[in-house]
Structure 1
Amino acid sequence: MSPATPKRRTLVNLGHGGSLSEPIVTSTPRSKLNATNIDDTTTQLRLDIARLMNSEIVVCNVEEFIKYYMPGYDKDTVDFALRYLASVKREDRTTVLVPRKYLVRTHDGFEEVRVEAEDAEEESDEEQSPEDSDTEDESPSDNLRKEERDVDGQSGPTSPFDGTSGKEIEDEEYPNDFKDDEDDTDAPGTLDTLVYSHVLHDFRYKPSLVKKEYLKKKKRGHRVVRKVNEATLFNTLRGIGSAIRSCLEEKGVRMNGYTIRICGNSTMDSTIPGCDQRIDAGLTQKEGRGLAVSDVIVPFEFKVDCTNALIYQNRRQLLSHVNHAMTDDPRRNFMFGVTIEDDMVSLWFFSRSHSVKATVFSLVERPDLLIGIFVFLFCATDKQLGLDPLVTLIEGKHFLYHLPPNETRIRSQYYLTSDCISEYRPLRLRGRATRVWRVKQVKSATDHRRVDGTADMILKDVSVSSDAPTENFIQSCIFRDMANFSRDPNWRARDILRDCTEEELDEIAGALEREKFRSFFSCVTEYHIGTSGPLVIPSAWRIPAIFVEPKKQSQRDSKVHANPGPQSTKGTSMQPCSQVNPTPAVDHIPQQVLVPRKQCRYVYGEVYTPLNEIQTLGEAIDVLKGCIMVLRLMFCVGWVHRDISDSNILAARTGPNGLWRVKLADLEYAKRFPSNRAASTTPKTASQDFLACEILSSRRILAQVNTGRRGGAVPVVSSPQVVTLVHNFVHDLEAIWWILLWLITKRVKQLGLERDFVDTLFGQETGKLDVNSASNRWNIFTLAESIAKHNDVVKALPSPLRSNFIAVMDLLRVDLQVDYQRQHRERNYHDPGSYSWVVNVPFRAFFNDIEGDRDQWAGVRLILESELKQERKGKMKEEPLFTREGPEHGQPVSQILQKRKFSEDTVSEDQLEKDATISPAVVGDLKGREAGTSISGKLDGEQDKRAAKRIRH
C-alpha cells in the first residue's frame, strides 16, 4: 500500500520560512538500489563513504536558502522574467509558462481540464498570462494560490501528481527534509497546498507520469510521437534556460555567459588519468565537443522516477562530482548543485566549512522558484558562483595564483603552477584540502614570464578554520621565542639541556648566533590570508539521512551548532528527543562544529628534497640526525611540532658532494608545550603515518617492556580506558622511530623482501593506512620481546640490517617506553625539564651505536616517492575507475584512510572520527582484516571490517 500523500503547508504560516513540502516519515520498507556488477561488500563501502558527509551538512528552507546563499538573486528581475515567459511566445508558438491545468482520469487515460480557484475570475478560451489572472498590485512571484480540487472522487491538493495517478507512480515517500519533531499529524486527503498560478509548458505533468503513459501506449501498440526517457524529458531544461537568457537580454541585464548544457552521454576530461566522470547536465561556458570537470560550474543530476533508492543514488552522484571538482580545481571556494527526481527539485550548497540542502520543491507546483534559480545562475558573478577571483585557470592545466597587497607587501605578486607536489583527495569536503605546488613567480596576470633573478618556489594552498592561528603567525612566534632564548645568558643551564654534551650545546649555540635558527626551517616568505566563508544559515537544522538511506532505530534529534566554543572539542553528544517510538533514522551522526574557514596561501622561497626522495639509507640517517637537532632546538623554547613525517623533513646539499642541510617544514600544527592557548573550536587533522602510539590509540603506556638503558623490566600495560593526552616531546621523537622502521622495512629497494606485515603498519602506500594500523602499531611498539626476534619484521629487512642495526633500533624503542613509564610514575607530564634525558640521550646513543658498521648499511638503496607516483600513474591509465553509478564516479578509491582527529589540547576516543581518502592509485582489492587486540587482550574499540573486491564496470 502506498504511503499517505505528504503534508503541504501554506507559505505564510510555515515554521521554516516557506517550505512547501514535508513528507511524512513512516516505516515503509525501502527498496534496495539495483547495483549491477557490484557485490554487497562494495555497496557497503560506498555507503560508508557517503555517511562521511552527513556530519557536515544541514537543511534549510529553499526560499531562505536563496536569500542567504544567493546574494545576487534579484526579485525584480525574476518578476520580469516570469511575466515575459508567460506572455512571449517561442518559435513553436508556445509560451514557457502557461496557466495551470489539471488532470482527471478518463476511461482511456488522463485528460486536461481547467479547474478554477474559488477566488479566480472567469477565464476565456485563451490561456491567461499572470497579469490577467491576478490583481495588478501582485507580482508574478506572489501568484500562489491555496486551492482544493476533486479529482476521481477524491479531495486533495491542486496538483496533477498528488492524486491517484501519483500514488500509482510513487510507492514510497520522499525522504524527510525536516526535523523529526515537526508536526505531521494532519490527515491526508484534504490537505492545503501552495502552487504558482502558471506551470511550465514542458513540465505540465510529472515526468514519471509522462513516462508511464508513454510505456502504456507503447505496450498497447499506439503510435508515439517521440521516445520518452530521462534525456528527452529533462533536455527541455536547456530550452527553458535559453528562453530565460533571451528574456534577460531584452531587459538589458548583464549575464555571465553560462548556459545549461545536457551532457549525460559525454565523458569529461579530468586531471585523474583514465577518469570516466559524467553528469547529466551542467552550467558551463564551454561550447562544442569536449568537456572537462573544471568547465562545469554547477552540476545537475536527474532521475525520472522518485523512489528512495534513486533519490539517494542521485544525491551521491552529485556529491561525487562536487568532491571531484573541488579537489581537482583550486578555484572552487564553494559549489552549487541541483538534483531533480521526477518533479522534486533540491538545491545544494557545498563548501569547505559546511554544506546545505534546501528543502525540496516541485517544478510542477513552483516553476517560479526554478526560474528564479536559473535567473540567478545566468546573472551571478564567478565569485557568487564559488570561483576564487585570486586563482585563474591557465591553458586548462595550470593555475595562476594572485597574492594581493597586504601589510608586508605593497604590490601584487603572481605565481604560476608547474607541478603538483602533494595534494589530499578526501572524501569529505569540510577540511583543509591542502595542495602543495611547485611554482614560478611571474611578472603579471597577463605576462607569464619568470621574474628575473627568481628560482622555483613552493606554494601551499590550504583551508584553515577561521579561529585557528595561521602558519606564518606560528612561525613568527617560534622565531620570537628562539630569539628571546638566545638572549638569555644562562640558557645552557636550562633543565631540559642538563643531559646535553658540550658538543651538542655548542651546536645549539651556533644555531642561535645571529638568528641562524631560521635556516633550519622551511620559512614562509610571502602569504595571503583570505576572508572567512559564510556562517551556517541560522535557521538550519540537521536530519540524520541525506546521502544514505536511513535504518530503523530509536529517533534522536541533532541540533546544529554554528560555533559553540572551545568546549566543543571535548567530545560530541546527541541531545535525546522526547519521542521514543521507533521511527526510520540513520546511524548516529557525530555533531561537528561548523565554523567558517579561510583560504590561506603560503609561499616558501626554495624547493628542497623531502626525506622520501633521499636515495640511500646512509644519507637518510644523516638527515634524520639533523632533524633531531632541530627538534631539540624547538623543545628548548617549549614547542612541539606534532606532524613529523617523511614529507615534512626536508634537506638540501651544501655542494655537489657536500653534507645535507636539514629543513623542518609545516609548522601549522606546532604548538607550545605546555600550552597556554585556548583550544580551537575545530580540531586539526594531521597525518597519522608516523604518529606516536599513545596519540594514535588515546591510551597511555604505563610500564616498559624490557631492560632499557635505564634498566627495569616489567610487562607492558596500557591505561584501561581512553585518557586525556597532550602531545609532548616524546611523541615527536617516537615519530622519528617509526620513520626509521618505515625506511628499513618498507622503502628498501630490493626484491624478495616479504612486506605483507609492514603493510599493516604503514599501509600499502604512504598516507593510506590500513584500518587496523593503530592496534598493529601498538602491538609492535609494546612488544614484550625484541623486535629483532619478530619474524615478520625481520623478513622485511635486507640482510645488512638484520643484526646490529635492528637490535639498536629496539634499544631506542625501549628507551622511549622507559620515559613513557617515568611520566606516568612521576606525573610530571607538563614539566619540560623532566624530558631532558629522553630528548638528549637515546638518539645520541642510537646514532653512535650504528656508526660502527656504517659501511654495511649506508649504501642500501631506497625507493623514491617519485618512482612510486610514476608507477601508480601508469597503473591508473590501465585500470578502470569508478563510473557514475558509484558515490565517487570518476575517482579511484582503493581504501579508506582512518585519519586521526585531535584537538588543540587533548585527545580522547570520542574526538577521533573516521575520514577517508581517495587513493591516487588504481582501484585495488580491499582486504578486510580482523581488529587487532591490545596487550591486555581486549579490543581497542571495535574495528569494523572493510572488504571489497575489485570493481569492474
Structure 2
Amino acid sequence: MEFKKKNDRRNQSDDFVKVAWSMHHTMRNDPCRKYVHGLTCEDAKARLWFSDRCDLVASEDFDVNKGWKHLVRIILSILSADPTQLGYDPSIGPVRSTGSNSEPSYDIRVYDPSTGERTVYRTLKMISDVGADSMVGCATRVWEVRKFVNGDFVGPSYALKDVWVHEDRETEHVILERIRGEHPDFAEHLLTPIDYARASNPGSRSQKTPSATRDSVGHSDDITVSQTGYRDFNCFSKHPRQHYRIIFKEIGTPVHDLRSFTDVFTAIEGGWKEHSKERGVIMDLEYAKKIRDKSASHDVKTGTAAFMATEVAFTTHYRFDSVRGSRQPRSSKQKQLELLELGPPQDQEGPKPPFRHNPLHDIESIWWLCIWVMFYLAPTVMNVAEHHEHYSKVNYAFMSWVLSDSYSICYEKHENLGTPSGSICVGNSVIDDSYESGLKILKRLRDDSKSLRTCVTLAERTKEGHAGVVAAQSLFTSGPAKVYASRKQHTPK
C-alpha cells in the first residue's frame, strides 16, 4: 500500500511506481505467489491494483468519502479471504529453515490427474530464477529437487522447472515426445522428463490467468500504437497463461557458469566432451514451433536480444535491399533522396516477402552466442602477448564463419521466382551446407581454445585485487582480434 496526503500528478506517479515495484518484488521473490494486490491513495482518491504473470492493472480511482462502500468491501474481502484467494499457490509451501543463512526450501506438490496421485518434491537449491525477474512473462524457476516421502528423501536428485505457459501452447513434455519420435538420433541432446503436470489440485480453482479487455491506467497519449511483435499494454493479454511443472532426470550446468572456452564451445556444439560423459543439451522447448507455423505471436517477442538473429530483431528480411540493389543500381536522384531521409521512389519490384522465421536465423543465433562468450570471459592470468595470440587464433575461426552467402543464395532464388508476396523457402541443401560449415567452425573453436587457460567473467575480474581496481583495456591490432588486458588503477580517495 502507498499513501500520500496530497493528490497531484507527482504524488500519483510516485505511488504508482512504488506499488508496481512492491508487487513486482513480491512476485519475483516469492515462488508461492500466483498474483498479488495493491492499494494506492492520494488524499481521498484510492485505487485498487492487481498483478499476475500476464498483466498489471488498476481500477478507476474512487473517493473514499463518497464511495466508502468500495473501501469497506476491499478491506473485508482481504480480511475474510483464505490464502488461495489472496494469491498463494496451495501446491507449494515453504519449509522451515534449519540454518540462519540457508537458502529457502519448498515442498512442491505435483498432481497427476491420470492417476490421481500427488508427488512431493523438496527443493535443495535454486538452479536458475532469472525468468522471475520480469514483471510479465513465464516466470521460469528451476530447482534441484528430490522426492520427499513420509518425511524422508527418496531417490536421486532431479531438476524441477516451474513455469507459466500460454494455455493454447503445447506443453514441453509433448514437444519432447514428438521430437524424440520423429528424430530418435537427437535423443541424447534432449532432456528426459520423468514427471509433469499442470499445477492444479482436484477441486481447486484453475491456476490460469484471465483474459479480457481493459482500460489503461494512464493517459491515451502516453501509450504508443502497438506494432507487430510487441505487446499492447492498453489491453489485457489475449493469451492467458497456465501454471505448469516438469521434472527432468538430468541436472546440467548452464553455459554461462562454465569457465573454460573449450567447455563452452563443446556445449554449444552439442557433442560429447573428451574423456567424459557430459553432453550439451537444449532446453526451454515450450517455445518450439513448426517452421511453417503461421500463427500470430503471443504478446511479446520471445528471445534474448544478444543472441537474436538481426532479421528476427527487426522482423523484416532487410537483406533483400542489398540483393535488389546489386541487381538494379540506383540513380543519383534516388541516392540524394535517401541522404535527405526522404526515402527512394516507390519500389518498382514490389514489397518484401512477409517475414517468417527460417533455419538460417537459428544458425545465426549460435554465431552471436559464440561472439558473446568471447567477450563474457577473460583469462585469469593476463599475459597480453600470449593471450593476444590465442584470441587471434579463435577470432580467425569466427571470420571464416560467414552466413551472408547462405542468405544471398536463398533470397536471390526467391527473387528469381517472381513471387515476392510468398514466404522465403530455405532449401535443405542450404541448411545442410550451413550446418556443416558451422559445425566445422565450432570444432575449430573448441580445438583452438584449448590453449587458453581457465577464465573468469569480466565482472569477476573487475572485483579482483585489494589495492586497486582492475580495468579492461581494449587492444586493437591490424587483425580482427580484440583482447582485454588488465591494468591497475588507483582507487580514488
What TM-score results when the alignment is normalised by the length of structure 1?
Answer: 0.40
- 2:309 aligned residue: 692
What's 1:600 paired with? 244
SS at match of 2:156: coil
State the one-letter code of the partner of 2:146.
K
Match for residue 861 of structure 1? 453
Tell me which of 829, 833, 840 is aligned to 2:428.
833
Secondary structure in 2 matching 1:798: helix
- Listed one character per residue, the Cα deviations across residues 385-423 of structure 1 (whole Å, up to 9, x for unaligned) are 11111111223622221101223x552111222222222
Task: Check whether the contact 1:673–1:832 (CA below 8 A) recurs between aligned residues.
Answer: no
2:138 to 427, 432, 437: 432
CA distance in structure 1 between the aligned counterparts of 2:212 and 2:311, rounded to whole angstroms: 38
Given that 2:60 and 2:217 are in contact with CA atoms closer than 8 Å, whether structure 1 keeps it comes out as no
1:521 to 175, 185, 190: 190
- Are 1:405 and 1:412, in contact at CA under 8 Å, matched by a contact in 2? yes
Judged with a 3 Å threshold, the aligned counterparts in structure 2 of structure 1 residues 824 and 378 are, in CA distance, closer, same or farther, namely: same
Alignment of 1:78-477 (within 5 A): 300-395=1-96, 397-407=104-114, 409-424=115-130, 429-443=135-149, 447=151, 449-451=152-154, 454-477=155-178
For the residue of structure 1 that corresponds to 2:32, the secondary structure is coil
Superposed, which structure 2 residues align to 1:743-754 within 5 Å?
743-750=373-380
Q: Could you tell me how far apart the structure 1 residues matched to 2:318 and 2:230 are?
A: 26
Indicate which of 396, 409, 412 corresponds to 1:807.
396
- Residue equivalent to 2:468: none
TM-fit CA distance, 1:323: 0.4
CA RMSD of the aligned region, Å? 3.8
The AA in structure 2 aligned to 1:438 is E
Greater relative CO, 1 or 2 (CA 8 Å, sep 6+): 1
1:688 to 1:386, Cα distance in 2 relative to 1, 3 A: same
Instruction: Choose from 246, 260, 284 the match for 1:616.
Output: 260
Query: Which amino acid letter does the alignment assign opposite residue 807 of structure 1?
Result: Y
Q: Structure 2 vs 1, CA of residues 536 and 670 (structure 1 numbering), >3 Å: closer, same or farther?
A: closer
CA distance in 2 between partners of 1:830 and 1:702 (Å): 15
Matched-pair identity in %: 21
Evaluate the alpha carbon distance shift between residue 373 and residue 470 of structure 1 in structure 2; reply closer, same or farther with a 3 A threshold.
same
Counterpart residue identity of residue 394, structure 2: F
Within 2, Cα distance between the matches of 1:398 and 1:840? 43
On the 8 A contact 1:523/1:605 being kept in 2, the answer is yes
* Aligned counterparts of 2:407 and 2:156: Cα–Cα separation in 1: 45
Relative distance call for 1:306 and 1:622 in structure 2 (3 A) is: closer
Q: Does 1:662 align with 2:280?
A: yes
- Matched position secondary structure for 1:734: helix
The 5 A counterparts of 1:835-914 are: 835-846=430-441, 854=447, 857-863=449-455
Preserved contact between residue 390 and residue 451 of structure 2 (Cα < 8 Å): no
Q: What amino acid is the match of 1:625?
A: E
CA contact (8 A) 2:131 2:140 kept: no
Q: How does 1:641-652 map to 2 (within 5 A)?
A: none
- CA shift for structure 1 position 831: 4.4
- Displacement of 1:571 in angstroms is 6.2
Q: Could you tell me how far 1:844 is from its partner in structure 2?
A: 4.3
Mark the CA change 1:381 to 1:859 in structure 2 (over 3 Å): closer, same or farther: same
Contact 1:458 1:607 in 2 (8 A): yes
1:847-894 deviation digits (Å, cap 9, x = unpaired):
56568xx4x6303134457x968999x9xxxxxxxxxxxxxxxxxxxx
- Structure 1: runs of 5+ lacking an equivalent: 1-299, 484-510, 512-516, 559-567, 575-588, 628-650, 706-711, 755-794, 875-953
Q: Would the aligned equivalents of 2:208 and 2:240 in 1 still touch at CA under 8 Å?
A: yes
For the pair 1:542 / 2:243, whether they are aligned, the reply is no
Q: CA, structure 1 residues 519+340, in 2 after alignment: closer, same or farther (shift >3 Å)?
A: same
Query: How many angstroms does 1:440 deviate by?
Result: 2.0
Shift of 1:521: 0.7
CA contact (8 A) 2:50 2:58 kept: yes
Match of residue 778 from structure 1: none
**C-alpha separation in 1, matches of 2:96 and 2:277:** 40
Equivalent-residue separation in structure 2 for 1:621 and 1:428 (angstroms): 29
Map of 1:247 onto structure 2: none
TM-score (norm 2): 0.74
Q: Distance in 1 between matches of 2:160 and 2:258?
A: 22
- In structure 1, what is the Cα distance between the partners aligned to 2:230 and 2:444? 47
Residues 109, 119 of structure 2: 8 Å contact kept: yes
Residues 5-32 of structure 1: CA deviation (Å, up to 9, x unaligned)? xxxxxxxxxxxxxxxxxxxxxxxxxxxx
Structure 2 residue ranges without an equivalent (≥5): 98-103, 200-205, 330-342, 345-350, 415-422, 465-493
Counterpart residue number, 2:407: 820
Q: Distance in 2 between matches of 1:349 and 1:728?
A: 39
Q: In the TM superposition, what is the alpha-carbon distance from 1:826 to its structure 2 partner?
A: 0.9
- Cα distance in 1 between the residues matched to 2:399 and 2:46: 62
Contact 2:193 2:247 in 1 (8 A): yes
How many matched pairs?
Answer: 420
In structure 2, the partner of 1:678 is 295
Shift, 1:456, TM fit: 1.9
SS, match of residue 307 in structure 2: coil
Contact 1:424–1:434 (Cα < 8 Å) also in 2: yes
Deviations 1:474-498 (A, max 9, x none): 2122123225xxxxxxxxxxxxxxx
Q: Is the 8 A contact 1:809 1:846 kept in 2?
A: yes
> In the superposition, relative to structure 1, how do residues 839 and 590 fare at CA in structure 2: closer, same or farther (>3 Å)?
farther
SS at match of 2:12: helix
Q: Summarize the Cα distance change of 1:799–1:870 in structure 2 as closer, same or farther, 3 Å threshold.
A: closer
Which residue among 715, 731, 740 is the counterpart of 2:370? Answer: 740
Residues of 2 paired with 1:441 and 1:525: CA distance?
A: 12
Check the 8 A contact 2:379/2:455 in 1, yes or no: yes
Larger radius of gyration: 1
1:318–1:849 CA distance, 2 compared to 1 (3 A)? closer
Q: How does 1:471-510 map to 2 (within 5 A)?
A: 471-482=172-183
Provide the C-alpha distance between the structure 2 equivalents of 1:687 and 1:351, rounded to a whole number of angstroms.
22
Question: Partner letter of residue 533 of structure 1?
Answer: K
Cα distance in structure 2, aligned partners of 1:477 and 1:468:
14
| Cα distance, 1:689 vs structure 2 | 2.8
What is the rounded CA distance, in whole Å, between the counterparts of 1:850 and 1:417 in structure 2? 37
Distance 2:211 2:83 in 1: 21
Whichever residue aligns with residue 609 of structure 1, its letter is T
Deviation at 1:427, TM superposition (A): 6.9
> Which residue identity lines up with residue 429 of structure 1 in the other structure?
M
1:10-66, Cα deviation, whole Å (9 max, x unpaired): xxxxxxxxxxxxxxxxxxxxxxxxxxxxxxxxxxxxxxxxxxxxxxxxxxxxxxxxx
The alignment partner of 1:322 has SS state of: helix
1:750 Cα offset (Å): 4.0
Residue 380 of structure 1: how far off its partner (Å) = 0.8
Higher strand share: 2
Task: Give, in angstroms, the shift of residue 807 of structure 1.
Answer: 1.9
Q: Secondary structure at the match of 1:600?
A: strand
The residue identity in structure 2 corresponding to 1:471 is E
